[in-house]
Structure 1
Amino acid sequence: MSEIGVDAVLNESPRGQGEEALENVACGAISGIVGKYIEYPFDTVKVRLQSQPEHFPLQYAGPLDCFKQSLRREGFLGLYRGISAPLVGAAVETSSLFFSYQVTQDILRATVYPPSEVPAPQDLPFSALLLSGAASGAATSLLLTPIELVKCKMQVPLETSATSIRNLGPLNIIASIYRHQGVLGFWNGQLGTLIRETGGSAAWFGSNEGMKALFRRTGNSSATSKDGALPIYQQMTAGAAAGMSYNFIFYPADTIKSRMQTEDVSRLAGGRRTFGTVGKALWKQQGLKGLYRGCGITVARSAPSSAFIFTIFEELKRRWSE
Structure 2
Amino acid sequence: MEHGPMHPSVSQKIHWQPDLPVRHFNYTPRMQNIHGDGAFVNRKSSSIVTPLPPAFAGAPLENLKDPVLIDLAATGIVRTAVAPFERVKLLMQNQNGMIRSGRLPQPYNGIFDCFARTIRKEGILSLWRGNIAIATAYVSSKAIHYKSYEYFASRIDSSWSIFEVVAAGGFSTAANLFLVYPLVYAGTRMANDVKTANDVKTAGYSSKRQFNGILDVYRKTLKVDGISGLFRGYTMALAQVGVITALSALLRPWYQYLSIQSQNNDLGKAILDCVFDCSGSLASYPLGTVSRRMMMTSGEAVKYKSSRNAFAQIFKTEGVESFYKGAGADILVSVAFKGYALLLSHLYAAYFAAMANGGDGGRPGFALSIKWKKDGVK
Please confirm whether the aligned pair reaches a TM-score higher than 0.5, indicating the same fold. yes
Distance 1:112 1:214, change over 3 A: farther
Deviation at 1:95, TM superposition (A): 2.9
Deviation at 1:112, TM superposition (A): 4.6
Query: Percent identity among equivalent residues?
Result: 19
In the alignment, which of 28, 33, 37 is matched to residue 76 of structure 2?
A: 33
Partner of 2:82, secondary structure, is helix
| Structure 2 residue aligned with 1:177 | 221
- Give the counterpart letter for 1:262 in structure 2: M
Distance 1:235 1:208, change over 3 A: farther
Query: In proportion to residue count, which structure has more helix?
Result: 1
| Structure 1 residue aligned with 2:107 | 59
Distance 1:28 1:146, change over 3 A: farther
| Structure 2 residue aligned with 1:146 | 182
Q: How far, CA to CA, are the matches of 1:26 and 1:242 in structure 2?
A: 26
Distance 1:101 1:62, change over 3 A: farther
| Structure 1 residue aligned with 2:290 | 256
Q: Is the 8 A contact 1:235 1:311 kept in 2?
A: no
Q: Is the 8 A contact 1:49 1:293 kept in 2?
A: yes
Q: Can you list the C-alpha shifts for 1:254-311, whole angstroms capped at 9, x where unaligned?
A: 111111112262433xx56422222111111122200011111102221331465599
- Give the counterpart letter for 2:311 in structure 1: G
1:76 aligns with 2:110: no
Distance 1:135 1:36, change over 3 A: farther
- Give the counterpart letter for 2:212 in structure 1: L
Q: Can you list the C-alpha shifts for 1:47-99, whole angstroms capped at 9, x where unaligned?
A: 11122245748521222221111111011111101211112111012333455
Q: Is the 8 A contact 1:196 1:253 kept in 2?
A: yes
Distance 1:172 1:100, change over 3 A: same
| Structure 2 residue aligned with 1:237 | 271
| Structure 2 residue aligned with 1:284 | 316
Q: Is the 8 A contact 1:104 1:135 kept in 2?
A: no
| Structure 1 residue aligned with 2:4 | none
Q: Whose Rg is larger?
A: 2
Q: How far, CA to CA, are the matches of 2:226 and 2:117 in structure 1?
A: 34
Q: Is the 8 A contact 2:274 2:334 kept in 1?
A: yes
- Give the counterpart letter for 2:334 in structure 1: S
RMSD: 4.2
Structure 1 gaps of 5+ residues are 1-14, 114-124, 225-229
1:187 aligns with 2:221: no
Deviation at 1:172, TM superposition (A): 0.8
Q: How far, CA to CA, are the matches of 1:36 and 1:109 in structure 2?
A: 35
| Structure 1 residue aligned with 2:335 | 303
Deviation at 1:36, TM superposition (A): 1.1
Distance 1:214 1:312, change over 3 A: same
Q: Can you list the C-alpha shifts for 1:221-268, whole angstroms capped at 9, x where unaligned?
A: xxx6xxxxx443243233323321332111011111111112262433
Structure 2 gaps of 5+ residues are 1-22, 27-50, 54-64, 196-200, 357-378
